[in-house]
């Protein structure tokens, strides 16, 4: 059975889950899989990896927000289109 993870590691995974919009378990699995790929076994290393993934997620969410905003803008003759009257 797996041991109880460190509180700081749990907090880092929770912040990652919140930024990604997924459950805590899904975020923890993502960190565990990435840690296994780069051979990180200690909790401090996994916590640092979770923080790194969090910074990547927040950077990409800002890019995604800008991209979505640009796609939602009306162009040309579509700017006066009404879905309902």
- Domain boundaries along the sequence of the chain: 1-59
Give the pLDDT score at 79: 62
Tokens (6 digits) for 82? 């009404």
Query: What does each C-alpha distance from 77 to 74, 81, 85 come to in angstroms?
Result: 8, 8, 18
Query: Mean pLDDT across the chain, nearest whole number?
Result: 83
The pLDDT confidence band at residue 5, using thresholds 50, 70 and 90, is: low
Model confidence pTM above 0.75: no
Over the stretch 14-43, which tens digit does the pLDDT of each residue have? 999 998 889 999 999 999 999 999 999 999
Tokens (6 digits) for 51? 């923080």
d(CA 25, CA 12): 12
Tokens (6 digits) for 66? 């800008």
Nearest to 7 by CA among 47, 59, 45: 47
């Amino acid at each position: 059975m797996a041991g109880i993870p460190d509180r700081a590691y749990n907090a880092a995974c929770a912040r990652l889950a919140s930024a990604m919009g997924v459950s805590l378990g899904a975020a923890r699995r993502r960190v565990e899989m990435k840690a296994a790929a780069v051979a990180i076994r200690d909790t401090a290393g996994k916590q640092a990896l979770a923080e790194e993934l969090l910074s990547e997620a927040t950077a990409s969410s800002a890019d995604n927000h800008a991209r979505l905003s640009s796609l939602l803008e009306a162009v040309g003759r579509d700017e006066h289109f009404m879905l309902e009257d």
